Each structure stands twice: as C-alpha cells, then as structure tokens.
C-alpha cells in the first residue's frame, strides 16, 4: 500500500453484503413456501378426483355386468337355472369385479302362484328350493319378490328363495327401480350370505317383457318381468387397497338413509378410528356422490405419507442456507479486503511452486522417453495436428522407417490409402472425447510400411497431456501370424454356421406352417360361429312367434304347428352347436378364465348327477356314485368342472342300453409327484374301439360306434379336454373288460 492510499473500511462493505443477502433470502423463502403449498393443494385435489372416479367406476362396472345379465334374460324370456349359469360362465365376474358376490334373478309372484313357483324351481335343478322372509320373518303381505336363482350358487345358497319384499329397505329399492326403469341401490344392509356381517347392499336393475323400457310409467309397471340383481359387500367393492392413491389420503364413505342420516360404509386403513380428522391434516374435503338413486358422502384428508412428498422445510432450509451464505460472503469480503498483502505473498509462493512442478514434468518426460525405447511394442506420440513427435526403436522396425524419417511424419501415412479418410474421421472423434481405448474393436485394422506393404495390427490409444495440448500415445502390435490363424478358424466356423442355419430354417418353416394352419382353423371357426348366431336368433324368434300364433289361433292346420316345432328344435340344436364352437375356440385361444378354489368333490358330483338325472330317469338308467372319502377336495373352477362331468355323464347315458348302469367313482391318487383327484365315469354301453380311444377327444371326431345316430357333433369331449388341460389335469378314455367305456378325469388336489 502506498503512502498516499487511504485505508479502506472492510466491515462496512461486509455489513452491506450481509444485509442485502438476508433480504434476498427472505423474499425467495417466502415465494418458495407459497409455491410448495399451492402444489400440494393441487395434488390433493387430484387425489380426491381420482378417488371419486374410482368409486363411480366400481359401481358403473357392476351396473354394466347387470345390463349384460338382463340381456341374457331378455334373450331367453323364461330363463332356466342351467341356461343362466352357462351364460355367466364365460366371464369370471367375481375376479373382474371384487365386491360383487354374484348375479341373480328376482321375480314378483302373486301369492296364489307361490306353490307353482316352488314346484317349478324344484324341477329346474333346485330340489331344496323354499320361499322364506328376510331374517326368518314372514313373507310380504302383498306380492312377494322372490330370488329364483343366483350364481355362483355355492356362495349364495342362503339367498335362493328369499322374499326381498318382506323387508322395507329392499322392497323400496326394488319398487323405485321398477318405477323409474333405472338401477337402484338399497340402503345399507347385511347380506344373508355374508358370514362376517359387513355393510352391504343390493343393486337391482328392472327387466321388462319385450326387452324395452317404456317411457310411460303405467306401461312399465304392466310389463315388469322382475329384476336382475347383485349382492354387494362394500368393504370388498370399495376396498381402500384398490381404489384411490394408496397411503396418500385417508377417507371414510357413508351412505345417507331416507331420513338423511349417515350410515358408515367403510373407512381406509389410514383412518381406522372412523371419519378422517381434518384437524390432524394439512388438507381435508368432503364430496357427495349420487349413485343408483343413493347419496354417498366421502370425507377425505391428507396423510403423513402424502405430506411427506413435499418439501415443507425447503423454505426454512433456503432461509438458513441464504443466511449462512450471506454471512460467509460478508466474511470473505472482509478477509479479502483486509488481507491483500497476505494474498500477494501467497501468489508469490504459488509461482515458485509452479516452477518446481515444471522442472519435475521435464524430468518425467525424460523418464518416459527411456521407457518407450525399452518397450518391445511399437510406440508413437502424435500431437494434436496428427504429426509424429516421438517414436521408439520397435516402431522403426515395424514400419521400416529411420527415426529421423518418422519425426514430423503425419501419422495418417502409416494407414493404408483406402482407409485414410475413415481414419481422419475416427481421430476427430477421439480428440472430442480422449480416453484410453483400443482401436477397431470387433474389426481388423491394417497398417502400411514404408515400402507400401500392408499388415494386420492391434492399436491402442492413450491421451497424453503435454502443456495446454493433449497428445496421443499410440501403441502398435504386428499380429500377422495370429490373423492367419483366425482366418482359418473363421472359415471353419462359417461352414458350420451355414449348415446349422440351413437345418434350423427348415425346422422353423415347418413349425410356422403348422402354427398358421392351426390359427387359420381357430379364426375360421370363431368367425363362422359369430356370423351364424345372428341369423339363428332371428330364425328362433320367428319360430317361437309362429308357435305362439298357432297356439292362439283357431283353425290352423296341425301340420303348421309341427313345422314350427321342427324349425324351433332344429334351430336350438344348431345354436347349441355354434355355442359349443365358440366355447372351444375361446378355450383354444386362452380367452376363458377360470377361478380356481378348493371345492368338495362330493358337491361337484352331486351337481353333475342332478343335471342329468331327468335324462337317466327317462330311460330307466341307474346312476350311482362311489365316494370313499366324503371330505375329498380339488382345486378347480366349480362351474367348468361341473360342465365337464355333466357332458361325460350325458355321453354315458346316451350310449348305454335302457335300464343299464352308469357309475361315477372318485378317489385320491397320491402315487405321483403331485396328488391328483381321479374321477371315473363308467358305462356298459356300445364302447369305443381301442384304436379310437385317443382321437375321440379331437374336435369333430366321433367314434365309429356312433354311426347308428346316437352321437353328437364331436365337440363335447374336445371342450372337456381343453377345460381339464387348463386346470393342469388330464382326461382319457379306456375300454372296460366287461364292455362299455371308462372316462378318467385327473385334477390337481392343490
């Protein structure tokens, strides 16, 4: 500092910087706080919108399933239990729609018709059908609303025959649905089939004769046929683990009754005490939903997990960091302004250190030259312009140059003429990102000697800092002998690969041809079956109309009634064939899904025998079942396996003589790695030739023993095989020593 220079005041500048820094920090922290709060509020609103959408979607999908069931009832008019079960078997609704315990049919019945209804239902595969009131109480004083059937039966047996009109809540929802022609929910009830006594409801959809919904209330009341309905368990339908954002919000759902009182439906796990407490959360809201003529109230609040996703402490950290930075900056300015002399002294010390470093670099350079000369590999150093600045003795020997000829020689001169343009491109790329690497990975490189001869080489590149520039250390290895050996091995390998490729191509072509043929067959059957259904429904509709008009008219020739009967019967048989084709196609393409649950084998056998008992009685055939272990179970899709047993039993009855025996046996087969339940259906009919026992399970294949006309279309056993295979089981046919056939079905026990 000169004598004329006035002393500065570092503390004033430091204080100014500190105050200015603190002001800027406070402003930025305030802005960041507002941004975080606004973003969190927007995200919370999105979570609530998603929750509301999920709840509405759950009910909409259930209503869509009921509309599909109503279409089945409309299509068949007076639908029977077996047809209804078959129509629902194509979809696994209990898995697709959690909370939906089943789908059933309810019909209003005049008191004088109750006995006739009970008798008809008992003949329709429900021998223990009985009418009862809700909770064991009396039937409705007016017309009872009877649940005729509901599927799956195993889970809903307690609801069959229930008079929902005997309870005010259920009856009110049914009447409201019928009056408005819309789906309607009951208030909160406890389902008779729910052993856990959880909150639930019935969702009802009216069915009108003729299939349409009239706009006239009186016409709707006159044409009411009944309802299709679904029992719902709210805890499963609106499971907090499946709807909304898991863990992000806690919510409770209540349903308003006729008095406007809220009845709790469920609460999420994050709010186990009941309704969410807004005081414990940063965000809370209440939404009201109108679903199927019922009002639901959703109260939701944010959880700790949701709030943890936002940096609430960020503004405070920013304020703290800004204060620290301002303080450090003020301190730095004070130190800089008060320590200029110390800085100048430090600069002088650094200068001396740099001089010492330069001398050490010169020494290292000399040592490097010594190492290069001693290396058995050819080594070159090229500057950034690509000119050689250093070469060792091995490089002179490899390329045939004298050392003075290599110095300042462009390194591109050592590359064959044809590859020089590509070499320039590669060197430019290397300069952009210099790292140790091997040149020409997975390809052969060549170099050029002074006399113009080319030879194969391996080249390594390493960046070498020289002052402000970056030179390149090039390592060259002559691999002429190794290249000759590699060429010979490559020729042998190519010959072998060509031979393998040729054989593989032949196998692939054969496989693809077989797959195309099989896919074309499946697509053809599917398309034709769908195309045939529409005209078949039209034919059946006109045939039934003709039967009805013939019955109602007077003086119509008897032959005309016979013609309509034949048309209807033929159409039904053809429709059954088309349905079988569609079932087979869906199974082959993996489009039918099965719900595997442990089921008592005794229940499977009982249902199958009940389905064919009328046909057996008509021909005085004795049906017997032999079950040594009544507690035996199998893990299967109940409807699918009952269909398989029913089909095999029908075949056994068809090919048995009048008055014959058909025996169904079941036992556990534990001699294999996986325990299997073995079910055998034995008849003493015409039998199957030994050569045809395996082919009878192929589509459109019948035994030659059925040429008398007793056989079907060759699809039943093919469908059975696909269903059993989808369960991981096996189905086979064997000839009995005493005559007839034994069909063996093996199913996994677990």
Q: Residue 434, Cβ neighbours under 10 Å: how many?
A: 16
pLDDT reported for residue 712: 52
In this structure, is residue 368 part of a structural domain? no
Same-domain check for residues 518 and 446: no
| CATH number, domain containing residue 716 | 3.30.565.10
Same-domain check for residues 424 and 497: no
Mean pLDDT of the chain: 80
In this structure, is residue 355 part of a structural domain? no
Same-domain check for residues 542 and 559: yes
Q: How confident is the model at residue 480 (pLDDT cuts 50, 70, 90)?
A: confident
In this structure, is residue 369 part of a structural domain? no
| CATH number, domain containing residue 438 | 3.30.450.20
Distance CA 534, CA 515 (A): 30
Same-domain check for residues 101 and 244: yes
Q: What is the pTM of this model?
A: 0.43
- 164 Cβ neighbours under 8 A, 6+ residues apart: 106, 134, 145, 147, 170, 171, 174, 202
Q: What is the 3-state secondary structure (H, E, C) of 209-240?
A: CCCCCCCCHHHHHHCEEEEEEEEEEHHHHCCC
Same-domain check for residues 560 and 502: yes
User: Considering 453, 478, 503, which residue would you say is the last residue of a domain?
Assistant: 478
For 254-311, the pLDDT digits (tens) are 988 888 888 888 876 554 334 444 446 788 889 999 998 999 999 888 888 888 888 8
CB distance 668 to 629 below 8 Å: yes
Distance CA 103, CA 156 (A): 9
Same-domain check for residues 51 and 61: no
Query: pLDDT higher for 50 or 246?
Result: 50
User: Considering 546, 566, 588, which residue would you say is the last residue of a domain?
Assistant: 588
pLDDT reported for residue 40: 84
The helices-and-strands tally (H runs, E runs) of the chain is 19, 25
Distance CA 139, CA 146 (A): 10
Same-domain check for residues 626 and 693: yes
Residue 212 has pLDDT above 90, yes or no: no
| CATH number, domain containing residue 133 | 3.30.450.350
Residue 394 has which token pair? Answer: 């091995």
Distance CA 713, CA 581 (A): 10
* pLDDT, mean of residues 660-677: 84
Closest-CA residue to 145 (of 167, 123, 112): 167
For 715-738, the pLDDT digits (tens) are 777 778 888 888 788 888 888 877
At residue 184, φ and ψ (nearest 5 deg) are: -140, 145
DSSP character at residue 142: S
Q: How many domains does the chain have?
A: 5
Domain range holding 626?
597-748
In this structure, is residue 200 part of a structural domain? yes
Same-domain check for residues 558 and 620: no
Distance CA 60, CA 187 (A): 18
Element (H, E) at 19: helix 10-76
For 709-720, the pLDDT digits (tens) are 444 556 777 778
CB distance 680 to 652 below 8 Å: no
Same-domain check for residues 685 and 735: yes
Same-domain check for residues 226 and 89: yes
Taking every pair of C-alpha atoms in the chain, what is the biggest distance, in angstroms?
141
Distance CA 19, CA 436 (A): 51
Distance CA 162, CA 176 (A): 19
CB distance 579 to 87 below 8 Å: no
At residue 295, φ and ψ (nearest 5 deg) are: -105, 125
Same-domain check for residues 274 and 323: no
Alpha helices, DSSP H, located in 553-600: 558-588
In this structure, is residue 44 part of a structural domain? yes
In this structure, is residue 415 part of a structural domain? yes
Q: How confident is the model at residue 6 (pLDDT cuts 50, 70, 90)?
A: very low
User: Considering 281, 302, 323, which residue would you say is the last residue of a domain?
Assistant: 302
Q: How confident is the model at residue 38 (pLDDT cuts 50, 70, 90)?
A: confident
In this structure, is residue 154 part of a structural domain? yes
- 251 Cβ neighbours under 8 A, 6+ residues apart: 51, 240, 244, 267, 268, 271, 276, 298, 299, 300, 301
Q: Residue 720, Cβ neighbours under 10 Å: how many?
A: 24
* pLDDT, mean of residues 423-452: 79
Same-domain check for residues 119 and 142: yes
In this structure, is residue 356 part of a structural domain? no
């Amino acid at each position: 500092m000169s004598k004329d220079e006035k002393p500065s005041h570092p503390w004033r500048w430091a204080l100014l910087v500190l105050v200015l820094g603190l002001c800027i920090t406070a402003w930025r922290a305030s802005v960041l706080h507002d941004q975080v709060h606004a973003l969190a509020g927007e995200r919370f609103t999105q979570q609530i919108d998603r929750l509301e959408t999920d709840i509405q979607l759950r009910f909409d999908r259930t209503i869509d399933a009921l509309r599909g069931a109503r279409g089945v009832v409309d299509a068949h008019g007076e639908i029977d239990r077996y047809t209804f079960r078959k129509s629902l078997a194509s979809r696994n609704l209990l898995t697709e729609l959690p909370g939906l315990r089943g789908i059933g049919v309810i019909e209003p019945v005049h008191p004088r018709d109750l006995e006739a209804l009970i008798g008809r239902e008992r003949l329709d595969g429900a021998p223990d059908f009985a009418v009862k009131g809700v909770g064991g109480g009396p039937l409705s004083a007016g017309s009872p609303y009877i649940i005729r059937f509901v599927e799956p039966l195993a889970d809903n047996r307690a609801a069959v025959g229930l008079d929902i009109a005997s309870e005010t809540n259920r009856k009110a929802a049914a009447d409201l649905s019928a009056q408005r022609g819309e789906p309607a929910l009951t208030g909160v009830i406890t389902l008779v089939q729910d052993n856990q006594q959880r909150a639930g409801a019935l969702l009802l959809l009216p069915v009108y004769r003729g299939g349409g919904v009239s706009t006239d209330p009186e016409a709707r009341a006159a044409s009411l046929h009944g309802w299709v309905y679904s029992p719902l368990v709210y805890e499963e339908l609106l499971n907090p683990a499946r709807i909304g954002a898991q863990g992000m919000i806690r919510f409770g759902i209540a349903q308003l009754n006729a008095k406007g009182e809220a009845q709790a439906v469920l609460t999420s796990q994050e709010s186990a005490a009941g309704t969410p407490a807004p005081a414990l959360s940063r965000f809370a809201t209440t939404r009201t939903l109108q679903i199927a003529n019922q009002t639901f109230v959703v109260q939701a609040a944010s959880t700790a997990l949701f709030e943890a996703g936002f940096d609430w402490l960020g503004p405070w950290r920013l304020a703290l960091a800004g204060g620290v930075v301002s303080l450090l900056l003020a301190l730095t300015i004070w130190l800089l302004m008060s320590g200029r002399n110390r800085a100048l002294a430090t600069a002088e010390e650094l200068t001396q250190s740099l001089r010492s470093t330069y001398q050490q670099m010169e020494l290292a350079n000399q040592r490097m030259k010594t190492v290069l000369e001693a290396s058995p590999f050819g080594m070159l150093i090229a500057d950034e312009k690509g000119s050689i600045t250093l070469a060792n003795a091995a490089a002179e020997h490899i390329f045939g140059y004298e050392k003075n000829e290599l110095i300042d020689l462009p390194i591109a001169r050592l590359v064959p003429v044809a590859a020089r343009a590509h070499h320039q491109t590669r060197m430019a790329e290397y300069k952009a990102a210099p790292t140790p690497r091997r040149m020409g990975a997975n390809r052969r490189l060549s170099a050029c000697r002074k006399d113009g001869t080319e030879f194969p080489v391996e080249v390594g590149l390493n960046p070498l800092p020289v002052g402000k520039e970056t030179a390149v250390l090039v390592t060259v290895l002559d691999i002429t002998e190794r290249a000759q050996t590699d060429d010979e091995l490559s020729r042998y390998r190519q010959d072998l690969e060509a031979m393998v490729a040729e054989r593989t191509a032949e196998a692939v072509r054969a496989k693809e041809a077989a797959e195309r043929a099989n896919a074309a067959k499946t697509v053809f059957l599917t398309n034709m079956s769908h195309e045939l259904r529409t005209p078949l429904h039209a034919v059946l509709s006109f045939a039934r109309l003709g039967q009805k008009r013939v019955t109602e008219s007077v003086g119509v020739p008897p032959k005309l009634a016979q013609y309509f009967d034949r048309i209807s019967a033929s159409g039904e048989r053809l429709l059954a064939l088309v349905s079988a084709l569609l079932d087979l196609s869906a199974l082959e393409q993996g489009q039918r899904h099965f719900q595997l649950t442990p089921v008592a084998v005794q229940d499977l056998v009982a249902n199958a025998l009940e389905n064919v008992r009328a046909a057996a009685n008509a021909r005085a055939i004795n049906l017997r079942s032999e079950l040594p272990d009544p507690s035996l179970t199998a893990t299967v899709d109940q409807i699918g396996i009952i269909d398989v047993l029913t089909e095999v039993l029908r075949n056994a009855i068809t090919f048995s003589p009048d008055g014959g025996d058909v025996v169904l046996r079941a036992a556990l087969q534990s001699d294999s790695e996986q325990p299997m339940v073995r079910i055998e259906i034995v008849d003493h009919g015409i039998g199957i030739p030994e050569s045809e026992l395996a082919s009878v399970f192929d589509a459109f294949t019948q035994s030659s023993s059925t040429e008398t006309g007793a056989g079907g279309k060759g699809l039943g056993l093919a469908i059975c095989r696909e269903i059993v295979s989808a369960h991981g089981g096996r189905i086979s046919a064997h000839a009995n020593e005493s005559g007839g056939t034994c069909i063996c079905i093996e199913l996994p026990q677990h």
